[in-house]
Structure formats: structure tokens, C-alpha cells
Chain A
Amino acid sequence: MTDKMTFSKRAEFISKLRELLESGVPPKKLKIVMPHPDHEVDEIVEKYVPPSKLKYFTLAGALSGFIGGFALTIGTVLDWPLITGGKPLISIPAFIVIVFEMTILLGATVSLLGFLILSRLPSFKSIISPEDYGNEFVILMDRRDE
């Protein structure tokens, strides 16, 4: 049993939200839908819910890219050592470019992955039956208490 509150004015919405949270309603019982992000709302919510875990994904991706880059470049030159232009086999200055690009590439793709996982996307339920709230701010509260 959920009850739905819709606000056309941002201010009202924010005050209500603050009130709810301060009154000790567990955040997981609330489903807040906004037409666009809002800093103030973030600040309020931050006090009650832990920050996004996305950064770990990004870090992991970037790191693997970094290591993978070195592994690929150095590994291949050692696999079949061919001298070109008198440059040392393991030409770090040249390889840095590859390493850098791979860091970014994996960093970005893994972040995207993380985002999809964390925010439960793509959600087939709402693809099939989209839930839209227009430009209003909506708070859905789960009344059932276990």
C-alpha cells in the first residue's frame, strides 16, 4: 500500500521531503521521482543514504586498463622481440600513450556498466509499461511496515 504525493512546486516538494526524512521515515520506504536532478535534494538525502558506489567501478576499470595496457605492450614486444629504429624493446615513453588510452577506455566503459547495475537499468518492467510522472516531483511512500 503506497501513497503518492505530487508537487508542482519544487519548494514544497523539498520541504515535504525534509520533513519526512527528519521524521525518521527510513529512506528505503520512499520512492522519490524528479523531472531533473537537484543539488539541494542531494544534500538533504546525503545525510540519510550512503554515497554512490560508482567510483569503485570507475577505479577498477581504470586500474585494469592501466595494468592491461602495460601488459599488452610489454608482453607483445617480448613475445617476438623486433628492433625498430634503434629504440629499446621496452619503449616506455611510447607505450605510455597506449596505457593512457586503455585506462580511459576501460574506466569509462566499466563506469557505464556500474551505473546500469547500480540503477537497475535497463529495467524491462518499465520498458514494457513506462511509469511517467511528467514534470512534477513525486514522493511514493510505502505504508506497509514489517
Chain B
Amino acid sequence: MSGIQTKLAIAFLVITGLIYVLEYFLPAGQGGAHLFNLLFWIAIIEGSIAVVAVGEVTNGKWVKPYRQELLSVYPLILLIGLLFVIFIPRLEYYPWTEQPGIWLNKNLFIARHVIQLIVVFFIARKFARESINEGQKRAFWGVIYLLAFAISMTGVAFDWLMSLEYPWFSTLFGALFFIEAFYCALALAGIFSFLYKAKFLDTYGESFESARMDIATLLFAFAIFWASQFYTQYLVIWYGNIPEEVSLIYYRTIDSPMREFFYSVVAFNFIIPFITFTYRRMKANYLVFLIVSIVVWVGIAVERLVIIVPRLSINPLILIVEFVIIGLMMIYVIRKRDSFLVKST
């Protein structure tokens, strides 16, 4: 097994180096692209494992077919860790760095996140192995992972993203963020069921069909759930109309095209999935499922961008390049899953 591990290690380092070059030797602006990719991918990676964990804890049948694929992304947490380390110099652009607080100050910030990522990685690894081997303790580790997941996602949401808008803050932001993580992980499952249709069908047959329907239903439920949480946050801010607090929405809705982007998020993350999946036939259709999944990803991506852009300038080209690099890495890891994540006999 060590072979693959070294391969991965090297790959990660190379990618890190690559992105470092992109970020600091090319006109990358203030690292908005970098932050975007961090946020986008960490959500998907940690989310996927969380989905499995939930499946294990509630011993839902729907998780079984997807288990290995979803779990196999766990090594990427390390990659994110590395990318975060090279992101550190960018912290200077955060508004709070001028007047650091008890909680928001560089050292503590870096420390807690590095530790967080490492811990989460090891828990994820442990859980992944337990789960794939259907070990006795897999439910237990599932719970542990979910706790870690909640904490780390909340931390990421508040510190990496929300503190960009300091002193703006919203207590719901963390929860919203890990709902989204879960949401796009489900979408990933949706993508898998398109890609690995054949394999799944001949391994699991009927049970795969029902599992897929369940995933679709979950996606549908999350569309509603996401909408409700998004609305909740919007409503409270809109109603209170406290300048410090509306700043987030205000500066993103005063002018075009930002405004359109901002509201398009609702279309991507709620309206489209909701409408499509109200019809059973749509759910049943593989292609539709794939498209909806991608739409969800787009929605999440746009939301991240909308929040980042006014604060950190972005170089779209670099954004795409980085996105592709990490994406490819993920595909690679998933394809290689059999070489590091299989039922030990």
C-alpha cells in the first residue's frame, strides 16, 4: 500500500508547489481564487465522508453502494491542509488583522486550523477504514467524525469566509456552511451514480436503484432545508436592518451583475432542484440527476464567489486552473480507491 501513499504525497506536494507559483508569482490578485478553491473543495471532501458517516450511524441502506467512492476522498483533506498553509500570507487582507481580537488573531487562527485539519484527517481515515470493513465500531467513529466535521466546518465558515466581512457576523453562517457541505456531497453521490451506473447496478442491483432514489430524495430535502436556512438568515438580517449587519447583502445587491449572481444562488440551490425533483420520473432519470447535481455545485460555487469577490480580488484564469488541478487530483484519488481503501481480508 505504501506505494500509493508516496505517490499521493508527491502529488500533493507538487500541486501545492504549483498553486504556490500560480498564487505568488503570477498576477493572482489577493488570493481570492485560492480561498475559493479551499472553501469549495473542503466542503465536498469533508461532506462526502460525513454523508457516509450519517448513513452508518442511522444504518441507512442507501449509503452502501456509494460508500467506497465517497470515502475515498479522505486523503485530500491533507492536500487542503497544505494549501491552507500556503494561504497564510493572504491573511493580511482580512479586515480584522488591523485590530486583532481575542479570537481573531493570526497566530491562534493558524494554529487552530492546522490542528483542526490534521485531527479531522485522522478521524476521517480511521472512520473510512472502519466503515469499509464494516467494523463493529463504525457507528461510533461515525459519530466522532460527524462531531469533528461540524466543528471544523463551522470554524472554516466563520474564520475563512465570514471574517472577510468583519465586523459583519451571522450565527447561522456555520450551520448553513455545513449544510451546504452535506448538500454538495450528496450531489457528488449523484454524479457517481451517473459515472458508475453500470458497476453499481451489477454489484447491488435493485438495492442500488432504491438507494439512488433515496439519495435523490435527500437531495430534494436538502434543497428545501438549504432554502429554509438561507431564508432564515436573510429574513433576520433584512428585518433588523442594522447597517453593520446588512453590509454583506447590501454591498452584493446594490449593483449589477453582482446582484444577479447573488440571487441566482437561490435558483441554483433551491428552485431548480426543487422543481425537478418534485416529479418522480425526473428523480428516476440518471441524466437529470447528474445535471441537478452539477447545478447544485454551481450554486454553491457562485455563492462562495459572491461573498469573496468584493473583499479579495480574483483572477478568473488562475481560479479555473487551480480548480481543474484539484479536481483532477480528486478524480485520480477516486480512481485509485481500490489501492488504498478496500475491505481488508
Do any CB atoms of chain A lie under 8 A from CB atoms of chain B in the complex?
yes
Main SS of chain A's interface residues?
Answer: helix
B235 within 8 A of A: yes
- The distance in angstroms between the C-alpha atoms of A85 and B239, with both chains bound, is 9
Size class of the A contact interface (CB-based, 8 Å): under 10
User: For chain A residues 39-58, which have a beta carbon within 8 Å of chain B?
Assistant: none
**Shortest Cβ distance from residue B239 to the other chain A in the assembled complex, whole angstroms:** 7
Contacts of A93 in B (CB 8 A): 231, 234-235, 238-239
A94 near B241: Cβ-Cβ < 8 Å: no
Total number of B residues with any Cβ neighbor in A under 8 Å: 6
Please encode chain A, from 79 to 98, with 1 for each CB lying within 8 Å of some chain B CB and 0 for all others.
Answer: 00000011000000110100
Q: How many A-B residue pairs have CB under 8 A?
A: 11
A86 near B241: Cβ-Cβ < 8 Å: yes
User: For chain B residues 214-256, which have a beta carbon within 8 Å of chain A?
Assistant: 231, 234-235, 238-239, 241
By beta carbon, the residue of chain A nearest B235 is A93
Contacts of B238 in A (CB 8 A): 93
- The distance in angstroms between the C-alpha atoms of A68 and B231, with both chains bound, is 21
By beta carbon, the residue of chain A nearest B228 is A100
- The distance in angstroms between the C-alpha atoms of A56 and B297, with both chains bound, is 34
User: For chain B residues 47-84, which have a beta carbon within 8 Å of chain A?
Assistant: none
**Shortest Cβ distance from residue A40 to the other chain B in the assembled complex, whole angstroms:** 17
**Shortest Cβ distance from residue B179 to the other chain A in the assembled complex, whole angstroms:** 19
Contacts of B231 in A (CB 8 A): 93, 96
User: For chain A residues 91-130, which have a beta carbon within 8 Å of chain B?
Assistant: 93-94, 96
By beta carbon, the residue of chain A nearest B237 is A93
**Shortest Cβ distance from residue A107 to the other chain B in the assembled complex, whole angstroms:** 14
In order of increasing CB-CB distance, the 6 nearest A-B pairs are A93-B238, A93-B235, A93-B234, A94-B239, A96-B231, A93-B239
Given A86-B241, A93-B238, output 9 extra A-B contacts at Cβ < 8 Å. Answer: A85-B241, A93-B231, A93-B234, A93-B235, A93-B239, A94-B235, A94-B239, A96-B231, A96-B235
Instruction: Give the A-binding residues of B (Cβ under 8 A).
Output: 231, 234-235, 238-239, 241
Instruction: Give the B-binding residues of A (Cβ under 8 A).
Output: 85-86, 93-94, 96
